[in-house]
Structure 1
C-alpha cells in the first residue's frame, strides 16, 4: 500500500475503508483519519528496523531484526533483556519429520537467510490490519473456547486429546496441506494445543501448527504459526510475533511465512514435527521444529495456569464455520477428505507423545478422539509399530453428508 502524506486526505491509502463508508452513507473523515493514524502507529510498533530485508516469491517481506529488538522485548518485564540459551531437551527425544531442515518456507527458496544475531520476522503491512475487525483485534483469534465448545460458536474441531494428568509438553508429526477456505472470515488449521485453566475467562493455551487464514495473511497459502492466550482469547495473546510474547531465537524460520512444498492427494506427503516442552529450570515453554531446529520460547510469566503445567493436550484440526447463506461452510479441514481415505489422501497426526513430570517423552496414554460434526469433518485413531499413536482426520465441509 502506498502511504500518502496525512494532509492529502489519505484517499488512496485507505480507499477500502472510505469506499465502504461512502456506500453506507457513514463517511466520517475525522474518524477515518484517526483510524488510519492508529494503523500506522501499530505497524511502526510491530516492524522493527531491519538489518536486512528479503523479498519472498509470494510478496512477503522478511525483515532480519536484531534479536534483542524483536517485539517480545517491548514487554515491560523483558525490556533490556536478551533471549535465553536453549534448555535441555526432553529425554527420549528423537527429532524426525520429512521436512528435514529449516528451508521449508517459500522465502528461503532463493537461498538467502538472515545473519547471525538476528531473527527473521514477516513484515506487517497496513492492508493486513485493514482486513481485521479492528486494530485492537488484529493478530488475535475471536474470543472462543477450544474443545467442549457450544455448537453455536462457529468453531468446529476434529481432535485427539488427553486429559486428567499433568503435562509438561507434547510432540507430534503432522502432514501439511492447502485446504480450501471459502470465506475471508474463516480459517482452517492443524495444530497442537497445550491447555490449562477452565473453558471460560481464565483459559491458558499454547498453540503451534499450520493454518490457512485469508483474513490474517491476505492469501490462501498454508503458513506456519504460533499462538498463545492466558484469558480465553479475550485480551491477551496473539498469533506469531504480533504482540509482546513469544521470544524467537531462530534466524532461518519466519513464523507466519508460507510453507512449501505441501502434500498432494495421492502424491508426495510432507509433514513437520513439532515439540513444545517446559524447561524444568526456568519454566519457559520452548518450541522445536523438524530435526532439532529451535524456534524460541514463551516466557512462563505470560501465563497463570500454564506457569505450572498443562492439564490437557489436543492434537488435530479446527475450522471456522460462518454458515454462509444459512448453510454449513465448504471450508475444508486438513486435506479436505475424510479420515477413512487413509494415507496419501487424508490428513494425519502421528507419533503422538507427551512430556511427563520427569522431562521425559512418553507415548500418549489413553488417547481419545472427538469430532464436533463428524458428518462434516471426522477422525479415526489407531496405534502401530511404526507410527505409534496416530489418527487420520478432516473433511470437505458442506457435502452430501454435511449440510
Structure 2
C-alpha cells in the first residue's frame, strides 16, 4: 500500500473509531456522575430491609439523613414532636384505616433511625437530566401557569391565612397509560406568586418515571421558587426532615380501595407549629419541613387545594386513558368514586375548622370531574372526584 493509500486508510479508521471513543468518554463521565450522586443521596444505614415490592429501605440514623446537607439546616436541632397538635371544633368522628407499607412485612427500622427508600442507579437514569433527579418533570400547579399537560379536578379554598389542613382520603391504584404520565391525590398549601411561589405538597401517587413501577406511594414535595432550583420529591434532596422509623415517604401502600368494595381511607394532617410544618399520616408523625426553607410560607399559607391531578401526554394524538383516582366519575359516589372527606383547615389559634368559600377547579369535566358531597353528615365537608380520561366524551 502506498503512503497516500495508507494515510487515507488511517483517516477512515479515525472517522470510524472517533465517535466510539467520544461515546465511551461520555458514557464514563455519566457513570461517574451517577455514582457520585448515589453516594451523596444514600447515607450510611445501620441495617437495610428488602421489601417484597423491590424497594430497599435503609434505616439511617436520624441525625445522618440527607436533609441536613441543606446549607440552611447545618447544626439543626432535630424536632421529635410538635409543641401543639391542632384540635377540632367538630363533633364528627373521623374514621380511617390502619394501613401498612409493603416493606413492613420484612421488618421495622429500629428506634432513633428513619426509614429511607434507597435510591438505585436505575432511578437516576430514568431522569431526563441527572441534575434534575427527584424534581417534577413537568412542574407547576394550575393556578400558577402550569404546563397544559396537567389536568385537575380539585377544590380551592378562597384566599386567606392558613396554618394547615386535615382530611381523610380513600386511596386507589390508578392505571397510568405511559411512564412519563402520573396520577395523584394530594393537598397543596401555597403562598407567594411567580418565581417566589412556595408550596408544601403531600399525598398519594403512581409515578413510573420516578419509581420504576406502577405502585401507589406516599409522597411529599416542596418548592421555594416555583419549582425551579429548590425542592424535590420525598427525601431525594436536602430539606424535608423525616422523623418516623415506620412510615417511608416514597414507600408503597399494600392495601388500596376496591371498586364497590372495601374502602381504604387514610387520615392526613399538615400544620405549622412554630418554625416547622409537620406531616402526620393517621396517628404517625412522619416528619417536617423547616419554615426557614421558605420565604412567604414561613408566615403561613394563603391558599389550600385538595384533589386529583394527572399528566396527559396525548399518546397517539388521543387523550390519555390514565385514571384519576378510582378511574370513575364523581357522580358514581361512595365505594366507586374517589373522595376527600372531613376536610378542615387550621387557623392561627391552631384550631381545625371546616373550610369556607370553597370552589372547584376542573380542566375538562368530560375527562375527569368533581362533585361536592352532602353537608351536615359525619363526613363534614367532602367531595368526590376522578374519572377515566379517554372515553366517548373525552377523545
What TM-score do you get using the length of structure 1 for normalisation? 0.89
C-alpha contact 2:102 2:254 (8 A) present in aligned 1 = yes
User: Could you say which residue in structure 2 is the equivalent of 1:76?
Assistant: 71
User: Could you say which residue in structure 2 is the equivalent of 1:170?
Assistant: 165
C-alpha contact 1:68 1:82 (8 A) present in aligned 2 = no
Give the 3 Å change call, closer, same or farther, for CA 342–323 of structure 1 in structure 2: same
User: Could you say which residue in structure 2 is the equivalent of 1:364?
Assistant: 355
What TM-score do you get using the length of structure 2 for normalisation? 0.91
User: Could you say which residue in structure 1 is the equivalent of 2:88?
Assistant: 92
Q: Select the residue among 191, 200, 215 that pairs with 1:221.
A: 215
User: Could you say which residue in structure 2 is the equivalent of 1:386?
Assistant: 378
Give the 3 Å change call, closer, same or farther, for CA 231–401 of structure 1 in structure 2: same
Deviation at 1:34, TM superposition (A): 1.1
Post-superposition Cα deviations, 1:193-224, rounded to whole Å, max 9, x if no partner, equal 101111x2221110011000000000001001
User: Could you say which residue in structure 1 is the equivalent of 2:105?
Assistant: 109
State the secondary structure of the residue aligned to 1:194.
Answer: strand
Separation (CA, whole Å) in 2 of partners of 1:223 and 1:273: 15
User: Could you say which residue in structure 2 is the equivalent of 1:253?
Assistant: 247
User: Could you say which residue in structure 1 is the equivalent of 2:196?
Assistant: 202
Separation (CA, whole Å) in 1 of partners of 2:77 and 2:276: 14
C-alpha contact 2:52 2:102 (8 A) present in aligned 1 = yes
Deviation at 1:148, TM superposition (A): 2.8
| Structure label with greater radius of gyration | 2
Post-superposition Cα deviations, 1:111-148, rounded to whole Å, max 9, x if no partner, equal x1000010000000000011111111111113533133
Deviation at 1:27, TM superposition (A): 7.0
Structure 2 unaligned regions, length at least 5: 1-18
Deviation at 1:25, TM superposition (A): 9.6
CA RMSD of aligned residues (A): 1.8
Deviation at 1:243, TM superposition (A): 0.4
State the secondary structure of the residue aligned to 1:109.
Answer: helix
Structure 1 residue 373 and structure 2 residue 368: aligned?
no
Q: Matched residue pairs, number?
A: 373
User: Could you say which residue in structure 1 is the equivalent of 2:186?
Assistant: 191
Alignment of 1:100-139 (within 5 A): 100=98, 104-110=100-106, 112-139=107-134
Deviation at 1:99, TM superposition (A): 2.4
Give the 3 Å change call, closer, same or farther, for CA 232–142 of structure 1 in structure 2: farther
Post-superposition Cα deviations, 1:277-308, rounded to whole Å, max 9, x if no partner, equal 001xx321001110x21111000111111011
State the secondary structure of the residue aligned to 1:104.
Answer: coil
Alignment of 1:8-157 (within 5 A): 28-87=23-82, 88-92=84-88, 96-100=94-98, 104-110=100-106, 112-142=107-137, 144-148=139-143, 153-157=148-152
Separation (CA, whole Å) in 2 of partners of 1:330 and 1:116: 43
State the secondary structure of the residue aligned to 2:321.
Answer: coil
Separation (CA, whole Å) in 2 of partners of 1:149 and 1:157: 13
C-alpha contact 1:52 1:63 (8 A) present in aligned 2 = yes
Regions of 4+ moved over 6 Å: 24-27
User: Could you say which residue in structure 2 is the equivalent of 1:285?
Assistant: 277
